[in-house]
Each structure stands twice: as structure tokens, then as C-alpha cells.
Amino acid sequence: MSDPVKIQIWSDYVCPFCMLAEGPLEEATKDLGVDVEIEWKPVELRPHPQPTLRPEDEYLPSIWQSSVYPMARRMGVDITLPTVSPQPYTRLAFEGYQYAAEQGKGTEYTRRMFRAFFQEDQDLGQLDVLTALAREIGLDAEAFRAALDNGTYHDTHQDALREAAAHRIRSVPTILVGDTRIEGVPRVEQLRKAILDAQAEQAVSRGAACGIDGC
């Protein structure tokens, strides 16, 4: 049985383009006949103490009007510039992601974070909010909250940020499929080609290994 094709996606929960990348990912992997393993990975666009953005300032409304809303309309995605001001730091939410991933719910958690922020205007910097969202997706709310209170996943999250730095992640979303790197919201055909190329490369690698070691 062949190994799944790994798709790694670096994102931040306050990046609307990261949420918009979900649709092409889902469509590209549907009915493709390839086993894929999707892993969301954290990037803090504005880590503390760097100030985060404010929706009442000029920059965010301008970007949303010129880029986010037109793309969302084309893709049929319901998304709105949140009014949370200033925008939340995402370290705590990402530590929660590490807990969720350990429970096999990393992708579900990520999707819930996007919807909470961009469709429900919830403040992802608040522990009470994160705990309620964790409960919604079936996580143990008390254990989740205790893990964040105690900094249980602080080091794991910092390791993940160092991995992002090692991959020279400068913008999100950044997607890695085999040797193919895609920055920005991907096109469906672009993703499918990357997946099929990665699958072919894995097949070649397996063949080479079998030729040396036997199968």
C-alpha cells in the first residue's frame, strides 16, 4: 500500500486567504483517487508584542475591498471583515491547535477557528472563546482549557514556528506538496497536478528502494 501524499499548509487564523484556500484544497483532493494527508501548520503573522491590525484603520478595509471580497464572491464563500479590534494574537489559539491535533482533530479545529473569526466575529485571543469552540468540536473542554492555562503546548508551538522559519515561510497560505511550493490561494488544477506529481515521485522512490533492498 502506498504512503499518502502529504500536503502541508502554513496559515494564520486571522488571514482570510487561508480560509479561502480550504475550498480548492477540498475540491482538488475529491475524487482524485489519491490518498492525501493534510496538515495545517502555524505561522503568527504578528507575534506579540508587535501590534496587530485594526479594522477601523485604512489598511484592512482597503485589502478586503480590493482582494478578499472579490475572491470570496468568485468562490462563493461567506466571509466578512471581523470587527474585533485590535485583531487577536493567535499564539493561544495555535497552542490549542496542538492539543486538538494530538486528539486527531487538528483540521476540524482549524476550520472552526476560521469560521468563528470570519463568519461569527469571535475573538480568538480569548481563552473562554477558544474553550467553547473546542467543546463544540467534541474536545474535552476542561482538559483543553487546563492545557492552555498551563502552557502545556507552548514548546510544541514554538517548535512549529521554528519549522516555519526553516522553510522560509514569509506569507500565508503557503502550501507544500512534495517538492511543489504554492504561495497564496491555490488553483484547483495547480493543486491536483502537484498531488499527482508527488504521488509519481513517491512511486519512483519506492521502486528505487525495492531495487536495492527487495520488496
Rounded to an integer, what distance in angstroms lies between the CA atom of residue 173 and that of residue 182? 8
Query: Does residue 1 surpass a pLDDT of 80?
Result: no
Looking at 1-15, 24-38, 194-208, which range is the least confident one? 194-208
Nearest to 14 by CA among 68, 76, 77: 68
Query: Does residue 2 surpass a pLDDT of 50?
Result: yes
Residue 204: the pLDDT is 87
Residue 58: partners with Cβ closer than 8 Å, 6 or more residues away? none
| Count of helices and strands (H, E) across the chain | 10, 4
Q: Other C-beta atoms within 10 Å of 114: how many?
A: 21
What pTM did the predictor assign?
0.93
Query: Does residue 48 surpass a pLDDT of 50?
Result: yes
Rounded to an integer, what distance in angstroms lies between the CA atom of residue 126 and that of residue 150? 15
Residue 212: the pLDDT is 45
Fold of 5-213: Glutaredoxin (3.40.30)
The predicted model gives 10-31 an average pLDDT of: 97
The residues spanned by each domain of the chain are 5-213
The predicted model gives 158-169 an average pLDDT of: 98
- pLDDT: is 213 or 98 the higher one? 98
